[in-house]
Structure 1
Amino acid sequence: MSKPSKTEAELVAMAWAELKAHADCPDGIVITVLRTGDSWEFRTAADAATVAMPSYPECVALIVQIGDHLGKQFGVKD
């Protein structure tokens, strides 16, 4: 049985919703979806000022955890 699929925008929105519930992450983080075969994961990017913020490393770690969790539940729509 295949997993339900979400668009990349839906997955990123879900990640931001979960982040806002658990951490005070800077707005300068950009989350994208990287597809690898049948699976996917989140990637982050940010400018130097955002990377220098004390909460940045924790937020990136949370994004990875959220991506792992969502990746087990959802595929990505084409």
Structure 2
Amino acid sequence: MSKPRKTEAELIAMARAELKVHVDCPDGIGIFVLRNDDGWEFRTEADEATKAKPGYPECVAMIVQIGDHLGKHYDVKG
């Protein structure tokens, strides 16, 4: 059975909402969807100042975990 499909924007919004519940992340972390043969995953991007802020590594790790979880439940539209 196929998984429900969400747009990249919907998946990113879901990740940001989940992040707010679990961790206090610094502003300036970009999240994007990287598609691959097996599905998709989240990637992040940030400038050097954001990367230097407290909590940045923990936020990136949490984004990866959220992506793993969402990837089991949703496919990407389009």
Please tell me the TM-score bracket, short chain as reference. Answer: over 0.9
What is the alpha-carbon distance in structure 2 between the residues aligned to residue 32 and residue 15 of structure 1?
10
Match of 1:30 in 2: 30
The structural deviation recorded for 1:19 is: 0.1
- Unpaired runs of 5+ residues, structure 2, are none
The structural deviation recorded for 1:38 is: 4.4
The structural deviation recorded for 1:37 is: 2.0
Match of 2:50 in 1: 50
Contact 2:26 2:54 in 1 (8 A): no
Give the TM-score of the pair, scaled to structure 1.
0.98
What is the alpha-carbon distance in structure 2 between the residues aligned to residue 38 and residue 53 of structure 1?
33
Match of 1:41 in 2: 41
What is the alpha-carbon distance in structure 1 between the residues aligned to residue 13 and residue 27 of structure 2?
13
Match of 1:75 in 2: 75
SS for the counterpart of 1:40 is: strand
**4+ long deviations beyond 4 Å:** none
- Unpaired runs of 5+ residues, structure 1, are none
Deviations 1:23-53 (A, max 9, x none): 1001200000000024000000000010001
SS for the counterpart of 1:26 is: coil
Match of 1:4 in 2: 4
